[in-house]
Structure 1
Amino acid sequence: MTTRPGRPSTDPAVPRPAASDPAAQQRAWNATARAYAADGPVHRLFEEQARLRPHAVAVRWAGGALSFAELDRLANRLAWALRDQGVGPETPVGIRVPRGPLLAVAVYGVLKAGGCYVPVEPALPAERAHTLLAEAGVRLLVGTAGEDGWPAPPQVRTVPADAPVPDHRELRSPEPGTGADSTAYVVFTSGSTGRPNGVAVAHRSLHNLFAWCRRTHGFGPHDLGLSVTSLGFDLSVFDLLGLPAYGAGVYVADDAQRCDPELLLDVLLREPVTYWNSAPTTLAHLAPLLGGHRGAAGTGHLRLVYLSGDYTPLTLPDEVRSVFTGATIVSLGGATEATVWSNWFEVGAVDPAWRSIPYGRPIDNAQYWVVDEDLRPCPVGVPGDLLIGGDVLALGYHRQPELTRQRFVPDTLGPDPRGRLYRTGDRASFGSDGVLTFLGRVDGQVKIRGARVELAEVEHRLRGHAGVKDVVALARPDRDGERALVVYVVPAPGCRPTVRELRRHVAAALPDYMVPAAVVFVDGFPATANGKLDRAALPWPARTGSTHVLGVPG
C-alpha cells in the first residue's frame, strides 16, 4: 500500500488556494491533521505483538534469531535489573553494545524499565563517549561483559545486557510509569559551539511517525527490515522500535557486513528482506555490484527503500530498480529535532531537470513553513528559511533549556496557538503543487572571490555532463588562505573527462566565479559511521586533475 505525494495541482484532492496569498497556500498544504493512537510508551506496541505472535521471528542476525517472546523475556530481565538500580521515568541510561540482538534487548530493556536510552557507540573515542555520558547525565550504562572499546568512567555503573542469570520476574514486564509525553531517547548531534546537543524525543511523536509509516506503506508481519545504521543515528529508531511495533522482523547487520558491500548485498539477496532503510551513501556503495544480479534469486523480495539523511544521487533510484524491480523508492527528510522523518517524496521517473530529488510534502501532523526574515510565508518559488511544526517535534535539547528556547519558538503560523516551530537552519522553496525543494543549509552558501556561491548549483551543472556519474563541490582553503572552489568527480563508467572540458561545461552556464578552481577525480565518496557523505575525508590539498583511490566500498 503506497500513497504518492506530489500530485499535480489539477488533482481535486490537492488544495488549491489563491496564489496571491502565500500564507493561505502554505496553510492548505500543511493541512495534515490525522488522528492516531498514542496510548502510553511505544514499546507497548511491541509487547502486544509478543502476545499475539510469540513464536514469530522479531530479530535476525548472522548467528541466529530471536522470537518476539524470547526478545520480550530478555528485555524484561534487563528491565528488572535496571529497576533494581533505580531506573524510573526520565532516567537516562546509556547503551554501549555491539551490533546484534543485544541492541534490541538493550533498547526495549531501558524503555520497559521506564528510562530513556542514550546511544553511545562502542567505537567512539573515549573522550567523546565520556562527554556524551556527562552531557546526558548518565549514571548507568548497558554494556556487555568483556567488550572492547572505551572504558566506562568511574561514576558510571555498567549493567550487562547479556546477563546469563535468569530472573523469575522476566515473564512479566515492569509497569514503566511513563506515558506518551515521557522521553523515549536522547540522540546527540554536533553543536556549532563544539558542545554536542542531545535531542530528547518523546513517545508521542514516535506514535505519530509509526502510524504514518504503517498507513502509508503497509508495514506488517510480512515484512523484514535490514538494519544497517548505528544506534546513534536516529534511522535506527524505526528499525528497532517501529518495525516490531507492527509485527515485522528486523535483520541487524553486524559491523563486518555493514563495512563490506558484498556481504551486505549477500544478506539482501539471501534473507527475505522487504525493506531497506539507510542514508543514500550506504546504498550507493552497493550500486556497482547490482548489475551482475539482475533476475537472480532473492531480487523479488525487496518492496520498499527508505533513503534519508543526505542528498540521494539522481542515478541511484534507477540503479536499484533495475535489479529490485518491485521496489518503491522513497526519499525522506526532516531533522533529528523532528523525530527521524517528517517529510517524504516517492521517487518515480527521475526528471532530467532536477538538481536533486524533491524534498516532498510533510507527513501526518507535520507542518512545513518557508518564511522570510520576518517570518512571513514566502510565495511559490521564492527561497526562504524552513521551519517545522506539529506533533513531530522533539521535546527539545536535553538539559539545555536556553538552546531549546532559541531553536523551538512559539508557533505563530499553524493551527495550534500552543504549538512550537523548530528553526531548521535550512533553506527551501515551495513549488506550485505544494512540493518542497530543499536548497541546503542557511550556512551552505559560500563566498568565492567575494561572490555568494550555492555549491548545489555547481554540482547540478556538472551532473549534466555525460562523463560525470556524481560530484561533490566544496570550498577549500588554498595556499594563500583564500577559499577555492573544488569539485570531486566520480567519472561515469568507461569515461575519463578532462579538467578542461568539465570547467568549460560549467563556464557555459554559470558565472566565472562558479567555475571550479580544481577538479579532483575519485573512485567514490566515503561515508561516516552513520552512512552519510564524509566530506572531511575527501583529499585536500590535491592537485587538479589528480586521481585518488579512496578504497570506498564497492
Structure 2
Amino acid sequence: MIDYPPSAWNATGRAYRDDAVPAGLVVEAARRAPDAPAVLDGTGTAYTYGALLTAANRLARLLHEHGVGPGDYVGVVGRRRPDTVVALLGVALSGAAFVPCHPDWPASRLGYVLSSTGARWLIGGAADLARVDTAPGLTDLVLLDVLTAEHHLPVPDAGEPWDGTDADADRVRTLVLAEAPSSVVELGFGSGSVLRRVAPHVDLYTGLDPDEAAVRAGTAWAKEQGLFADLVTGYAHEVAERLPGSYDVAVIAGTARVPYLRAVLDQVAELVRPGGSVVLADVTDPALFADLTGGSWSAAEVRGPDVVLRRSTVDTPAEPGLRVWTRWHVEQRPGTDVPARGRPGDVSYVIFTSGSTGNPKGVAVSNTALVNMLEWVTTSYGVSAADRLFQVTSFCFDLSIYDIFGLLSAGGSVRLASAEELAEPARLAEIMLSEPITFWNSAPPLFAWVLPFLTSSRRAGPGRESMRLMFLAGDWIALSVPDEIRTVFPNALVVNYGGATETAVWSTYYDIGEVDPAWPSIPYGRPIANARYYVLDEHRRRVPIGEPGDLYAAGTVLALGYHGDPAQTAQRFVPDPFVPGERMYAFGDRGRWLPDGQLQFLGRIDHQVKIRGYRVELGEIESMIAALECVREAVVVTVDLAGARSLAGFYTFRPPGVPVERVRAALVDRLPEYMVPARLLALDELPLTSNGKVDRAALGELARAQREGGA
C-alpha cells in the first residue's frame, strides 16, 4: 500500500489579525510601554518606544506632505545604526513599501533597484549623495545623519591611480589627438605615459595628480623637452579650483570609482569648451556612461574600454534637481501619531534577490503575509517585552524584517550590532555572553563563524543563562551545532526555519531537540500557521511519503510576486491544484515528507545557491562576466571546503584576452560583495561532459585543488 501525506499535515489554519498592519502592531506596543527600551547599540538605549514612535511619525509626516503613501516605494539604506530602524518604521507608517538597499552596493545596483521599483525617495546618509545619480527617477534624498539644515557633498572614494601600459597610453593618445585639440587637461596623470605622448602635439597641456612626486617628475620631463606643461598637485574633484580655464579635451582615468567619476564630470563640464570632449580612459564598465546625454553632453561614444563624451554646444534644460532633506528638516515635523494609511493587502516591503537574467528580482510581500508570520512566532515562542534580540543580519536579508517588526510588535528590544562589532566574531561572542541577550536570529554560517569563540570562552555573564531562542535559517545546519550551542547556552531552544523570501521570511519550522547522528541533515520541519507544503512530481501530483519531489508552498504566507515582472511571477507562482482559486510557489528545491510529518530538504533543483545565507543565482554572476568585452564563456560554481562555501568563477576569452583583475573589478562595481567569486580563473577551454554540457563538477574539483594548493 502506498502512503501519501495526510491532509492533517497541512491543517495549519488559525486565526490572526487580518485587519492589522505591521506598523500598527509596533504603535500598539509603543502605547503600552512608551518608556521601555526599543533600540539599543553598544552605548546603551538609543530609542525608547516613545522616542522611536515620535521620530518615525516625523519622517512619515515628511513623506505624507509630498504625497508618498500606499502604492509608493521608498528606498532605505540599511546602515547598522539606530536611525535605520526609524527609517523602516517611518516608511511603514506612511503606508508606502520600504525597499532595503545595502550601503555597499555598487551605484549601478542601487540605481537599478530604485529605478525598477519607481522609488522617488531614498532615506540614507550623506555618503549616499555621490551614489544616487544612477537612479534617474529619484526626486528626494533624506540624510538622517546630517543634523543641520545644510548639507555638503562628501569627497567620494576616488579609487586607485591609473598607470596604463604603453598600449593603453597609445590608444588614449589616438583618441585625444583625433580631436585636434590645442589645449588638454589630464586628471590623474600618474606616471605621465599619456602626458609624454600628447603634450608635444598641443599648445597647452595641464594636469593634476595627488602624488607630488608625479607632479615633480612630469614637470621636469616637460622642461627637458622644452614644453610648457602646467602640472599641479590635487585630486580630480578639485580641478575647477586648481586649473580653472577652458580646454578642448579632458582626459580622466576610468579606473576611478564610478560614483566619483560621475561626480567629477559635473565639474569637468564647466571646463571643457562647447563642442569639446572628455576621454574616459580604461573604464571598467563603459555601459555605465552610455546614458550621459542631454544637459552638458550631446553624445557618449564607447570605444572599447574607453568612452568619449561630447560636450554640448548648447546646454539643454536639465531635469529638476534632487531635493535633499536632513534630519533637521525631519525634526521640524510634529511627532504626534500620523493617520493610518496602510491597508492589510498593501505591499509591505520589496526585497531584492539574485536573478538569472543579470538583474536582481524584487520580491513584494504584503502586510497580511507579514502579520501572519509575526503573530505566529510571537504566540508560538512567547516573545515578549522581556526579550532582547541581538540584531546581526543585513537589512537586505529578509531575516531582518522579523528582527525589527517581530521584536518591536511584541514589546521586546533590538540590540543592534555595529559594523565594527560585526566584523569581529570574538567581539560578537563577548556581547552574547556579557549582555542579557535572549534571542539570536541569523543564517547558520554567520553563527558558525562566532561559535568557536563562544565554545572556547570561559567568560561568565548573564548571556549564558538569558539566551533562550536561537533561530537559524536560510542554509544547512551542521548536525553538531545544536549540541554545541547548548554547551554555551543551556536554556536555548534551537529552531531551524525554512522557506524563502517568496514565503514571507519563514514558512516551516523545526524545534531541534536531540540530534540523531544518523540524520543526513536537520529536518526542514512543518508548515507554520496558514501555510501549506506540497512535495510533487514533474506533473504536479503528490508523491508518496518518503519519496523525493519538488517543493511547493501555498497559503497566506505567499508573497504577492516579483515587482514589475508578471512573466516571472506567473512562472514561479502557479495555480494550486488542490485548492481552487489559490496559488502555490515553486521553490526550485527538492524535498520529501518523512513518516512523522516532517519535511526534509534535499537541495536546489537548479544552480541557485545560498552563500552566507544569501540566495545567489549563479546565472546572474555568469551573465555579468560573459558581458565583458572579449569574454567568450563564463561559469560560476560553488566550492565547499573545510565547512565553508564559496564561489569560483571560470571564463574563456577571445584575443587579446581579459585579465582576471579587470573581471574582478567589474564584478566589484556591479555586485554585492558576497556575489563576487573568491577565485577567478581564465581557461583556454571549459571541460565538458560526455553529452556536451559544461562539466561543473570538474570545475569544482579544479577550484578545490587550486584553493588547497594555495594557488
So what's the TM-score if we normalise by structure 1? 0.77
What secondary structure sits across from 2:338 in the alignment? coil
Aligned runs of 1:58-77 on 2, under 5 Å? Answer: 58-65=38-45, 66-77=47-58
Matched, 1:412 2:613: no
Task: Report deviation, 1:486.
Answer: 9.1
Task: Please give the alpha-carbon distance, in whole angstroms, between the structure 1 residues aligned to 2:330 and 2:360.
Answer: 38
| 1:459 alignment counterpart | none
What secondary structure sits across from 2:465 in the alignment? coil
Alignment partner of 2:553 out of 372, 388, 392: 388
| 2:141 alignment counterpart | 158
Question: Given the superposition, is the C-alpha separation of residues 295 and 145 from structure 1 closer, same or farther in structure 2, using an over 3 Å criterion?
Answer: closer
| 1:289 alignment counterpart | 453
Task: Report deviation, 1:376.
Answer: 0.9
| 2:370 alignment counterpart | 206
Q: Report % sequence identity.
A: 41
Matched, 1:433 2:590: no
Task: Please give the alpha-carbon distance, in whole angstroms, between the structure 1 residues aligned to 2:638 and 2:438.
Answer: 39
Aligned runs of 1:17-96 on 2, under 5 Å? Answer: 20=2, 22=4, 25-65=5-45, 66-96=47-77
Deviations 1:445-469 (A, max 9, x none): 99xxxxxxxxxxxxxxxxxxxxxxx
Task: Please give the alpha-carbon distance, in whole angstroms, between the structure 2 residues aligned to 1:330 and 1:413.
Answer: 29
Task: Please give the alpha-carbon distance, in whole angstroms, between the structure 2 residues aligned to 1:342 and 1:271.
Answer: 30
Task: Please give the alpha-carbon distance, in whole angstroms, between the structure 2 residues aligned to 1:291 and 1:539.
Answer: 35
Deviations 1:473-506 (A, max 9, x none): x9xx9xxx999999644289xxxxxxxxxxxxxx
Does the 8 A contact of 1:225 with 1:250 survive in 2?
Answer: yes
What secondary structure sits across from 2:577 in the alignment? coil
| 2:606 alignment counterpart | 443
Task: Please give the alpha-carbon distance, in whole angstroms, between the structure 2 residues aligned to 1:546 and 1:198.
Answer: 34
Partner letter of residue 217 of structure 1?
Answer: Y
More helix by share: 2
| 1:130 alignment counterpart | 111
| 1:513 alignment counterpart | none
Question: Given the superposition, is the C-alpha separation of residues 214 and 531 from structure 1 closer, same or farther in structure 2, using an over 3 Å criterion?
Answer: farther
Task: Please give the alpha-carbon distance, in whole angstroms, between the structure 2 residues aligned to 1:296 and 1:531.
Answer: 36
Task: Please give the alpha-carbon distance, in whole angstroms, between the structure 1 residues aligned to 2:126 and 2:636.
Answer: 50
Alignment partner of 2:642 out of 482, 490, 495: 490
Does the 8 A contact of 1:112 with 1:176 survive in 2?
Answer: yes
Alignment partner of 1:105 out of 86, 91, 94: 86
Deviations 1:421-442 (A, max 9, x none): 0111111011111111101111
What secondary structure sits across from 1:94 in the alignment? strand
Question: Given the superposition, is the C-alpha separation of residues 371 and 137 from structure 1 closer, same or farther in structure 2, using an over 3 Å criterion?
Answer: same
Task: Please give the alpha-carbon distance, in whole angstroms, between the structure 1 residues aligned to 2:50 and 2:386.
Answer: 18
Task: Please give the alpha-carbon distance, in whole angstroms, between the structure 2 residues aligned to 1:71 and 1:258.
Answer: 24
Matched, 1:350 2:350: no
Question: Given the superposition, is the C-alpha separation of residues 334 and 323 from structure 1 closer, same or farther in structure 2, using an over 3 Å criterion?
Answer: same
| 1:245 alignment counterpart | 409
What secondary structure sits across from 1:220 in the alignment? coil
Task: Please give the alpha-carbon distance, in whole angstroms, between the structure 2 residues aligned to 1:445 and 1:155.
Answer: 31
Deviations 1:11-67 (A, max 9, x none): xxxxxxxx7452xx2422101111111223211111011111000000001234210
Question: Given the superposition, is the C-alpha separation of residues 330 and 81 from structure 1 closer, same or farther in structure 2, using an over 3 Å criterion?
Answer: same
Question: Given the superposition, is the C-alpha separation of residues 488 and 120 from structure 1 closer, same or farther in structure 2, using an over 3 Å criterion?
Answer: closer
Deviations 1:369-402 (A, max 9, x none): 0011111110011111111000000111111122
| 2:220 alignment counterpart | none
Task: Please give the alpha-carbon distance, in whole angstroms, between the structure 2 residues aligned to 1:292 and 1:78.
Answer: 45
Matched, 1:256 2:420: yes
So what's the TM-score if we normalise by structure 2? 0.61
| 1:121 alignment counterpart | 102
Does the 8 A contact of 1:200 with 1:396 survive in 2?
Answer: yes
Task: Please give the alpha-carbon distance, in whole angstroms, between the structure 2 residues aligned to 1:321 and 1:258.
Answer: 23
Alignment partner of 1:537 out of 673, 678, 684: 678
Matched, 1:373 2:538: yes
Task: Please give the alpha-carbon distance, in whole angstroms, between the structure 1 residues aligned to 2:390 and 2:432.
Answer: 8
Matched, 1:265 2:245: no
What secondary structure sits across from 1:285 in the alignment? helix
What secondary structure sits across from 1:221 in the alignment? coil
| 1:509 alignment counterpart | none
Deviations 1:297-330 (A, max 9, x none): 1311110100001111222212211111111110
Partner letter of residue 488 of structure 2?
Answer: V
Gaps of 5+ in 1: 1-18, 447-473, 493-528
Aligned runs of 1:130-209 on 2, under 5 Å? Answer: 130-146=111-127, 150-152=131-133, 153-156=135-138, 157-162=140-145, 163-165=327-329, 167=331, 170-209=334-373
| 1:525 alignment counterpart | none
Task: Please give the alpha-carbon distance, in whole angstroms, between the structure 2 residues aligned to 1:45 and 1:340.
Answer: 18
Partner letter of residue 16 of structure 2?
Answer: Y
What secondary structure sits across from 1:170 in the alignment? coil
What secondary structure sits across from 1:80 in the alignment? helix
| 2:382 alignment counterpart | 218
Gaps of 5+ in 2: 146-326, 610-617, 623-632, 645-670, 682-701
Partner letter of residue 175 of structure 1?
Answer: P
Instruction: Please identify the structure whose Cα radius of gyration is greater.
Output: 2
Task: Report deviation, 1:418.
Answer: 2.3
Does the 8 A contact of 1:360 with 1:435 survive in 2?
Answer: yes
Partner letter of residue 65 of structure 2?
Answer: D
Deviations 1:232-256 (A, max 9, x none): 1000000111110010000111111
Question: Given the superposition, is the C-alpha separation of residues 364 and 484 from structure 1 closer, same or farther in structure 2, using an over 3 Å criterion?
Answer: closer
Number of equivalent positions: 460
Question: Given the superposition, is the C-alpha separation of residues 51 and 441 from structure 1 closer, same or farther in structure 2, using an over 3 Å criterion?
Answer: same
Task: Please give the alpha-carbon distance, in whole angstroms, between the structure 2 residues aligned to 1:331 and 1:325.
Answer: 17
